[in-house]
């Protein structure tokens, strides 16, 4: 479901349109300390160029060589062996695992398939761009591909005859505020492949936003959040330190399906905020409980960059559904209250 896999598919589609032969390789099972999880995707072009990874570099060279050899029969003619998907395994023995550099005796089972029809990639990329979750079903015996709706949390499944992989939309982050902290958060989020959106109706702050890859959304925060229709792949963080702006965004965000909603401010300010939202905007206790404030993990950060790390860390923790430890749930009051904007 990572956007890296969508990028692999986009590269494969571009290569096929340019006339190249392309082979897709998917990790379907791992044992031991395999470097890449089931579902990880690799595209191999006919000239050996690759996109993605199935082992972090351990077996890719051999896989490229095998794939190129399989594409050619006797005398260099196209091979019928690549007409349909096939299985490959690496690291079955300790000796082979050591040979390919798989850590701790890790083992990989892979599905290798020729990319003959690209229409399903075009449809999958269009649907994920609309923030849909899509399950791709590949029948190994025939190479047939079907795209079906998927649900959040649905795992990759392989029963030796049908491979089902789930592809989801790119994770996105909406920042309310374009100040110094927001720009630090945006830089880290871009490195993690989030789509970063920024809303700040204050021209004096928005004018300083000059980050490549960040999209500025005009309008007031509540209108922007409502128009965005936040889903389970969306995080919203209010960082203006101005209740008139932050609260407007939070009212809409806390009623949405966003997986993460955070706000800048001390513990005392957050308690006051929750009382204000409950009394004047009729938000329920369950909705208010979704608010991460003070925003970020307790890393003791003081500078905008350090505090940005704590915010991104908490977002990733929730994104990956990792349970926080008792002593690392929220940022300290000093950190959240005194950050430069």
Determine the distance from the C-alpha atom of residue 101 to the mean position of all C-alpha atoms in its chain, rounded to a whole number.
27
C-alpha span between 116 and 100 (Å, rounded)? 29
Confidence of residue 99 (pLDDT cuts 50, 70, 90): low
pLDDT digits (tens, 9 = 90+) for 114-141: 999 999 999 999 999 888 889 999 999 9
Tokens in use for 311?
């915010």
pLDDT at 112 over 80: yes
Confidence of residue 105 (pLDDT cuts 50, 70, 90): low
Confidence of residue 207 (pLDDT cuts 50, 70, 90): confident
Q: What per-residue string of b and e applies to 237-248 under the rule 16 or more CB within 10 Å gives b? A: bbbbbbbebbbb
Confidence of residue 154 (pLDDT cuts 50, 70, 90): confident
Q: Of the ranges 74-83, 185-194, 249-258, 273-282, which one carries the lowest mean pLDDT score? A: 74-83
Determine the distance from the C-alpha atom of residue 282 to the mean position of all C-alpha atoms in its chain, rounded to a whole number.
33
What phi and psi values does residue 312 have, to the nearest 5 degrees? -65, -40
Structural domains present in the chain: 3-167 (no CATH), 172-337 (3.40.50.720)
Q: How far is CA 40 from CA 25, 75, 157, 203, in A?
A: 8, 33, 13, 43
C-alpha span between 315 and 310 (Å, rounded)? 9
Q: Which residues contact 81 (CB under 8 A, 6 or more apart)?
A: 70, 73
C-alpha span between 247 and 269 (Å, rounded)? 12
C-alpha span between 212 and 316 (Å, rounded)? 22
C-alpha span between 221 and 19 (Å, rounded)? 46
**pLDDT score for 252:** 95
**pLDDT score for 170:** 82
3 in Cβ contact with 11 (< 8 Å): no
Closest C-alpha among 120, 119, 169, 111 to residue 148? 120
Q: Report the SS3 class of residue 177.
A: coil
Where is pLDDT greater, at 106 or 198?
A: 198
pLDDT at 261 over 70: yes
pLDDT digits (tens, 9 = 90+) for 71-85: 765 544 445 556 789
The total number of residues written for the chain in this structure: 341
């Amino acid at each position: 479901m990572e956007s890296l896999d969508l990028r692999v598919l986009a590269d494969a589609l571009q290569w096929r349109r340019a006339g190249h032969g392309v082979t897709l390789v998917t990790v379907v099972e791992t044992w031991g300390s395999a470097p890449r999880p089931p579902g990880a995707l690799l595209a191999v072009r006919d000239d050996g160029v690759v996109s993605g990874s199935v082992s972090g570099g351990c077996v890719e060279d051999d896989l490229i060589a095998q794939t190129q050899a399989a594409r050619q029969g006797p005398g260099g003619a196209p091979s019928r062996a690549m007409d349909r998907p096939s299985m490959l395994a690496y690291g079955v023995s300790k000796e082979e695992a050591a040979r390919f550099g798989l850590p701790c005796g890790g083992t990989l089972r892979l599905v290798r398939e020729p990319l003959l029809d690209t229409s399903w990639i075009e449809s999958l990329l269009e649907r994920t761009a609309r923030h849909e979750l899509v399950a791709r079903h590949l029948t190994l015996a025939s190479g047939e591909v079907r795209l079906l709706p998927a649900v959040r949390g649905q795992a990759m499944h392989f029963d030796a005859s049908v491979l089902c992989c789930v592809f989801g939309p790119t994770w996105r982050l909406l920042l309310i505020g374009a100040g110094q902290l927001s720009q630090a958060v945006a830089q880290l989020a871009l490195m993690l492949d989030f789509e970063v959106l920024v809303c700040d109706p204050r021209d004096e702050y928005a004018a300083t936003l000059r980050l490549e890859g960040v999209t500025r959304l005009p309008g007031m925060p509540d209108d922007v959040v409502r128009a965005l229709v936040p889903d389970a792949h969306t995080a919203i963080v209010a960082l203006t330190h101005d209740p008139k702006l932050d609260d407007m965004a939070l009212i809409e965000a806390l009623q949405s399906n966003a997986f993460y909603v955070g706000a800048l401010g001390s513990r005392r300010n957050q308690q006051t905020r929750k009382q204000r939202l409950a009394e004047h905007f009729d938000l329920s206790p369950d909705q208010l409980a979704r608010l991460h404030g003070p925003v970020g993990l307790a890393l003791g950060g003081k500078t905008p960059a350090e505090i940005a790390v704590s915010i991104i860390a908490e977002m990733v923790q929730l994104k990956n559904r990792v349970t926080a430890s008792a002593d690392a749930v929220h940022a300290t009051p000093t950190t959240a209250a005194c950050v430069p904007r």
